[in-house]
Amino acid sequence: MPPTRSASTLHWTSSKRPDHRRLLAMATLAALLLLVAASNAAALSAKAVEYHSFVATPLSPHAYTAAPSADADEDLFGGSLAVADEGAAAASAVHFRVVHRDAFAANATAAELLRHRLQRDKRRAARISKAAAGGGAGAANGTRSRGGAVAAPVVSGLAQGSGEYFTKIGVGTPSTPALMVLDTGSDVVWLQCAPCRRCYDQSGPVFDPRRSSSYGAVDCAAPLCRRLDSGGCDLRRRACLYQVAYGDGSVTAGDFATETLTFAGGARVARVALGCGHDNEGLFVAAAGLLGLGRGSLSFPTQISRRYGKSFSYCLVDRTSSSSSGAASRSRSSTVTFGPPSASAASFTPMVRNPRMETFYYVQLVGISVGGARVPGVAESDLRLDPSTGRGGVIVDSGTSVTRLARPSYSALRDAFRAAAAGLRLSPGGFSLFDTCYDLGGRKVVKVPTVSMHFAGGAEAALPPENYLIPVDSRGTFCFAFAGTDGGVSIIGNIQQQGFRVVFDGDGQRVGFAPKGC
């Protein structure tokens, strides 16, 4: 009956009416739980942030004035370059004392030299980006793409006004000492030679091939000559000619030849193909030439691979170590070693090949951590090499100072570092290519968040704080030593490599990082 249905309907409706008080209680409880969870997450996050204690030492305001001594060669590089006995020269491994004193005068302050270095760095990075994308292999290295150990000491070149790392070797017979730039981004080995039509100032004597009994010219028709991208021929002499032009405006040209190189301790390597430059200009101040350590067919590691294998390693001293002196300075010296990998503490990541540019050492960077936590915005996709175009990817380079990351990855890293370093006072305006700087004037020790780089295969490079927070003046300004790039290729520079033994295992096609390797 209608009244009964109505009552039943009314009763059903009444049974489903919301209990507002219960809902309010539940909502309040949920809000409290969310608040507690957020509080716990914040507390856990705060506890999870990892920090380094960083000694904030500004740059010296004084100009470097150290003058070379008559015994600088032996004092600085830990031994004579003269040929030792046959047993030492033929040894499968060479061991000797390593130092890093800077014996070269430079009439400029550390801050002035740093500015100059960063200007050169910008040009170099642009040149590498162009070459990596197939914009001219000759601009990169002058070449077409194609058991035992030898060691040589390495010196930081900041106080020499060159902004590179150097090794001293002997050239020719008898041996002439030559200070050479180490460059993993080039293949051709070259040095200035007398007679000079146009040469820049260098430390030490200019090599004169006319006084060397082991010097040999390369014929125009020789296979060695055909490996050059920018090769030529002197028809009158039938002599092979080379030329290498760099993106920073530097250029070297002259005869392509073979010569014997000698390393401290007496190890000799005969018939190394190199450029004997009679016409040179540019920014290779102090160095006699360049030792190309790239992956190409004319690089030094490739040329000596039959005797020592295709592997080498180096450990780069702090870029300001040249201003130190005495025993403390010597303790921060380093070596470059040609031969089988010996860094047992190294963690390795596979090399990646760029078919458009054989010279560079590519690796796969898969992430970066700040304060012990992965930065979400550092995306592997932004750092991956595209083999079809040659763009993208990450290279390890000894000649670039500052690590450059694809712009989105850099922005994410910078923002994460700023957030984790909120306790440090930002310095407005930045410095050169750095957009994140801090005013640490008057502070001796500060806490800075940790930074680690993660590579394919599980390799990790946990950076010490001086590898990413560097002084840029004498007033206590320190800058986050990374930068962004829109040039395609990302570059792990030598500031971030400081103190690591970096192993380039060409036989195993892998790159390794061993901390505290110097």
Report the catalytic residues. 183, 397
What residue type is 232 in one-letter code? G
C-alpha span between 304 and 184 (Å, rounded)? 15
CA dihedral 504, 509, 514, 518 (to 10 degrees): -10
Rounded to an integer, what distance in angstroms lies between the CA atom of residue 180 and that of residue 504?
19
| 424, 469 contact by CB (below 8 A) | no
Phi, psi of 35 (to 5 degrees): -65, -45
Question: Do the Cβ atoms of 244 and 252 come closer than 8 Å?
Answer: yes
Put the strands of the sheet holding 403-406 in their side by side order. 362-363, 394-396, 490-492, 403-406, 482-485
Residue corresponding to tokens 């290779």 = 284
| Dist. CA 158–CA 100, nearest whole Å | 12
CA distance 230 to 132: 17
Q: How far apart are CA 168 and CA 263, in angstroms?
A: 8
Reduce the secondary structure of 54-106 to three states and give it as a string: EECCCCCCCCCCCCCCCCHHHHHHCCCCCCCCHHHHCCCCCCCCCCCCCCCCC
Coil, strand or helix at 110: helix
Are 334 and 317 within 8 A, CB to CB? yes
Quick one: 163 exposed, middle or buried, by C-beta within 10 A (0-12, 13-18, 19+)? Answer: buried
Rounded Cα–Cα distance for residues 215 and 212 (Å): 6
Backbone angles phi, psi at 415, to 5 degrees: -65, -40
β 403-406/482-485 pair status:
parallel
Residue with tokens 């829109």: 486
Contact assessment for residue 445 and residue 53, using Cβ atoms and an 8 Å cutoff = yes
CB 246 within 8 A of CB 120: no
Close Cβ partners of 393 (under 8 Å, ≥ 6 residues apart): 132, 352, 354, 362, 383, 384, 385, 386, 489, 490
The CA distance from 370 to 310, in Å, is: 35
Residue with tokens 């800077």: 102
H helix runs in 323-406, sequence order: 326-330
